[in-house]
Amino acid sequence: MRELILGGARSGKSRLAEQLALASGLAVTYIATSQALDGEMTARIAHHQARRPVEWALCEEPLELARVLRDNAAPDRCLLVDCLTLWLTNLLMLDDPQRLQHEREALLQALGELPGRIILVSNETGLGVVPLGELTRRYVDAAGWLHQAVAAACDRVIFTVAGLPMILKGEAL
């Protein structure tokens, strides 16, 4: 089962992903893509850590997501990735379009081949105005294209607003 959970900031998407992972009854590995580059991000990471069950394994990887997924996937395991847009930001900040393209293609290929349950969390950024600044526009475009490709590869896609999940594709919760 492949699931993509989209939503805005503080929409409840991570909490929903954690609930689904817990309810799966499988061993869970939480794959964190964020980096504690400032105090605010450090606080966000601490908030997420405090919420997670202590028995969950943790893998922190800001760039090589497909490799980490392949290394940790198993038929009896649930992998929860939080989040794709932070991963995308990390790659965009490298200012290496070839690396971004390579990692994106590797992720999409891996999604079709991995055993077990995969839950991907990502921020939906394409609902607002066209952003000012070239890098921000690249980010919004890249996130939209990534979400479309990942959604096509997933069995279920959920959009979360105000803590309420809306099924866009696949079985009801």
The catalytic residues are 48
Q: What is the dihedral of CA 148, 163, 15, 91, to 10 degrees?
A: 30
Residues 6+ apart with CB under 8 A from 103: 63, 64, 65, 66, 91
